[in-house]
C-alpha cells in the first residue's frame, strides 16, 4: 500500500482526494484538517511524518481568499510560503515526494495562446505572488516534487463560482458577470483523480518525470458564459450581462488569459482531463444527489 498524507481536508481538492482514496485500495490515505495540522505552525507536522511515514504528501491546503490576501499579507505569506517551505523540508528529511497545488495566477502575462509550463511567470497580486514563492521554495529544497498548476477550481459543495451562481440565480433575474477573463473551470474530483494516477505511475512504474505541470479541464470559457451554461443546465431563469474586469473592480488583479496547455501532462503521463462542460454536468448531478462522492475522471 502506498502511504499518502494530504492536507486541506475541509477544502475542495482535499475533500476530493479523500473520496478518490477511499475508492482505491492501493493507497493508505491520511487526510489532515486545519485541526490536525495548522499551517500557522507547520513544524507541528514533524510528529505526523515520523509516526505515519508518508511516501507522498499532497499539499492541498492554502490561503485561497484571493482578495482578502491583499490586506492579510502576513497570514497569507505564512500559510502559502513559509508553511510550504517547512513541508518541503520535512519531505526532504523523511524521504517523501511532495505534490503541490499551484495556480494559473503564477503566469499572468501571456495572451492569445495556450500557456505552457515553460512560459514566463509574472504573478500579480499578493495571493499569486505567494503561490509562486511556494513553488520556488519547493524547487529550492527538493528534486522529487510535482507542482500542478490548476485554475477556477470547483466542486459540488465548496465555496465556488458554481454554488455562488446558483444561490444568486435563485433570487435575481439578472446578473452582471465578467466576460473578459478566459480560462477553464476545473473540477476538484478530476484534479484528485489525475494526481493519484501520477502517484500510481510514479510508485509502480518507476516513472519519475518530476516537475511542473498544468492541470486543468479542457476547453475555454469566460465567467459570463460559464454562468450562462450553469443556468441553462439547471433551468435557472436568470439573464447574464457581460461586464469588464475593470468595471467589476475586484481588489486583487486577475489574469485575462488563463488558458493552460495540458500537452506536457498528456505526453508524460497520458492524462487529459475532460472538457469543462462535461465535468460541470457531473458536478451538477452530484450536487443534486447531495452525494459526498463526486466521481473524478
Ligand atoms: N480554488 C481555486 O479556484 C484554485 C485555483 C487555482 C489553484 N488553486 C489551488 O488549489 C489548492 C486547493 O484549492 P481549493 O480550491 O481546494 O481551496 P479551498 O477549498 O479554499 O481549501 C483550502 C483548504 O486549506 C485549508 N487551510 C486554510 N488555512 C489553513 C491553515 N492555516 N492550516 C491548515 N489548513 C488551512 C482550509 O481549511 P478549512 O477547511 O478549515 O477552511 C481548506 O481546507 C490550493 O493550493 C489553491 O491555491 C485553487
Q: State which residues form the domain around 61.
A: 2-154+186-218+259-275
- Count helices and strands (H / E) in the chain: 11, 13
Q: Judge whether 3 and 91 are in contact, CB under 8 Å.
A: no
Residue 14 located in a structural domain? yes
Neighbours of 150 (CB within 10 A): 23
What domain count does the chain have?
1
Instruction: List, by residue number, the catalytic residues.
Output: 127
Looking at residue 143, its pLDDT comes to 97
Residue 280 located in a structural domain? no
Average of per-residue pLDDT across 47-76: 98
Looking at residue 199, its pLDDT comes to 97
pLDDT confidence tier of residue 295, bands split at 50, 70 and 90: low
Residue 101 located in a structural domain? yes
Q: Please report the atom of ligand 1 found closest to the CA of residue 101.
A: 45
Q: What is the mean pLDDT of the chain?
A: 96
Residue 247 located in a structural domain? no
Average of per-residue pLDDT across 197-216: 96
Residue 100 located in a structural domain? yes
- 52 backbone dihedrals φ, ψ, rounded to 5°: -100, -10
Show the ligand 1 pocket: residues with CB < 6 angstroms. Answer: 7-8, 10-14, 34, 37-40, 60-64, 79, 101, 103-104, 131, 150-153, 158
Residue 178 located in a structural domain? no
Residue 233 located in a structural domain? no
pLDDT confidence tier of residue 110, bands split at 50, 70 and 90: confident
Closest-CA residue, ligand 1 atom 8, reads 103
H, E, C per residue of 226-266: HHHHHHHHHCCCCEEEEECHHHHCCCCCCCCEECECCHHHH
Please write the tens of the pLDDT for every residue from 93-109: 999 999 999 999 999 88
The pTM of this model reads 0.96
Residue 125 has pLDDT above 90, yes or no: yes
Looking at residue 112, its pLDDT comes to 87
d(CA 239, CA 232): 10
d(CA 146, CA 200): 13
Q: Which residues contact 15 (CB under 8 A, 6 or more apart)?
A: 9, 155, 157, 158, 188
Closest-CA residue, ligand 1 atom 1, reads 153
d(CA 15, CA 31): 9
Q: Where are the alpha helices (DSSP H) in 148-239?
A: 161-169, 188-204, 223-234
Looking at residue 290, its pLDDT comes to 75
DSSP letter assigned to residue 73: H
Q: What is the CATH number of the domain that holds 103?
A: 3.40.50.720
Ligand 1 pocket test: which of 7, 11, 213 has the largest number of ligand atoms within 8 Å of its C-beta? 11
- What distance in angstroms lies between residue 61's CA and the mean position of ligand 1's atoms? 4
Closest-CA residue, ligand 1 atom 42, reads 11
Looking at residue 296, its pLDDT comes to 56
Residue 130 located in a structural domain? yes
Looking at residue 294, its pLDDT comes to 53
Please write the tens of the pLDDT for every residue from 128-160: 999 999 999 999 999 999 999 999 999 999 999
Closest-CA residue, ligand 1 atom 34, reads 34
Amino acid at each position: 500500500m502506498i502511504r499518502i498524507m494530504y492536507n486541506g481536508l475541509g477544502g475542495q481538492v482535499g475533500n476530493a482526494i479523500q473520496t478518490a482514496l477511499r475508492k482505491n485500495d492501493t493507497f493508505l490515505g491520511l487526510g489532515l484538517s486545519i485541526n490536525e495540522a495548522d499551517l500557522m505552525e507547520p513544524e507541528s507536522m514533524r510528529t505526523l511524518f515520523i509516526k505515519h511515514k508518508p511516501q507522498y504528501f499532497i499539499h492541498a491546503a492554502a490561503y485561497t481568499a484571493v482578495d482578502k490576501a491583499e490586506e492579510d499579507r502576513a497570514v497569507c505569506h505564512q500559510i502559502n510560503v513559509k508553511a510550504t517551505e517547512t513541508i518541503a523540508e520535512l519531505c526532504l528529511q523523511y524521504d517523501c515526494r511532495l505534490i503541490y497545488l499551484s495556480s494559473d495566477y503564477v503566469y499572468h502575462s501571456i495572451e492569445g495562446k495556450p500557456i505552457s509550463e515553460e512560459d514566463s511567470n509574472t504573478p500579480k497580486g499578493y495571493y499569486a505572488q505567494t503561490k509562486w514563492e511556494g513553488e520556488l521554495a519547493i524547487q529550492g529544497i527538493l528534486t522529487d516534487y510535482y507542482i500542478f498548476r490548476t485554475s477556477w477550481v470547483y466542486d459540488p459543495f465548496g465555496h465556488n463560482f458554481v454554488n455562488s451562481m446558483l444561490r444568486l440565480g435563485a433570487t435575481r433575474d439578472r446578473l452582471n458577470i465578467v466576460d473578459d477573463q478566459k480560462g477553464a473551470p476545473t473540477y476538484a474530483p478530476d484534479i484528485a483523480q489525475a494526481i493519484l494516477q501520477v502517484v500510481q505511475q510514479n510508485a509502480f512504474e518507476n516513472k519519475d518525470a518530476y516537475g511542473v505541470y498544468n492541470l486543468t479541464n479542457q476547453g475555454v470559457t469566460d465567467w459570463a458564459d460559464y454562468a450562462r451554461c450553469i443556468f441553462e443546465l439547471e433551468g435557472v431563469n436568470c439573464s447574464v450581462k457581460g461586464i469588464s474586469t475593470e468595471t467589476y473592480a475586484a481588489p486583487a488583479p486577475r489574469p485575462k488569459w488563463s488558458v493552460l496547455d495540458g500537452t506536457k501532462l498528456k505526453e508524460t503521463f497520458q492524462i487529459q482531463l475532460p472538457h469543462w462542460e462535461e465535468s460541470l454536468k457531473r458536478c451538477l448531478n452530484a450536487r443534486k444527489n447531495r452525494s459526498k462522492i463526486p466521481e473524478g475522471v
